[in-house]
A = this chain, B = another copy of it.
Amino acid sequence: MNIVIYNEYRHERTEPACAEVYPNGIHAVLADFLKKGIDCNIKTFCIDDVNEKMTDEVLNDTDVILWWGHMAHNEVTDETAKRVADHVNKGMGAIFLHSGHHSKPFRLLMGTAPNLSWTHNGFKEIIWTIDTTHPVAQGIPPYFELPMEEVYGEPFDIPAPDALVFIGWYSSGHVFRSGCAFKRGRGKIFYFQPGHETYPTYKNETVQKVILNAVNWVNPAIEKGQVNSGIDVEPIIK
């Protein structure tokens, strides 16, 4: 499987609280457990090189893209965003993590603003499995706890997901649709809420299992290509 990780990599290089948790970048931790769990090749991009280096050729050969971004969404060009969205429509799987809800590609694929409520401080989170037979939920317990996460609160401005896999409970009193599955064209998309940059969320084994499941689920099962090339056709019945 060919995987691309886009991690902004701005926080880790400018904020000590984040560098402490992810000294080599969030992408290093993601790549590490992805390699252990799946037979894959991983290409990594960050805000410095995504616009020039994450080309059509690269995405043509990509099965799954993981996307983490936060403070530099606007530095991803519209062209790059459209390139990602087009490849998802043709079958490339996509996993948007945490603040990736505001990324340009996710906005394009959703057709909404993807706004949500959020808190400055961290709170305890309990993630509940709602759709226990969904492939992304396999081997995940009925609930699991994250000692500290940034609260994301409803209403989350997304189209109704094709499947609601997880709901998050926060000790702040908020709830959130923390695991949502969508399909756009031939591509499958999974949005997974946990992952604030100053908490070691991606080192949590259950979070890693969810992401591994998601990668396997969004991995295209059929040849990539447009759902319909849009050309004119002959009548079947003359």
Contacts and interface: CB of A to CB of B under 8 A. Distances in A.
Interface residues of A, number: 71
Contacts of A154: 128-130, 142, 167, 228
A119 interface: yes
Interface stretch (A24-32, A41-49, A219-227): A219-227
Interface string A129-143: 111110100100011
B183 A160 contact: yes
B155 A117 contact: no
A73 interface: no
Contacts of A222: 132-133, 138
Interface of A: 85-86, 89, 91, 108-113, 115-121, 123, 126, 128-133, 135, 138, 142-143, 145, 151, 153-157, 159-160, 162-164, 167-175, 177, 182-186, 188, 221-222, 226-237
Q: Which of A91, A135, A155, A188 neighbours the largest number of chain B CB atoms within 10 Å of its CB?
A: A155
B183 A128 contact: no
A235 B112 contact: no
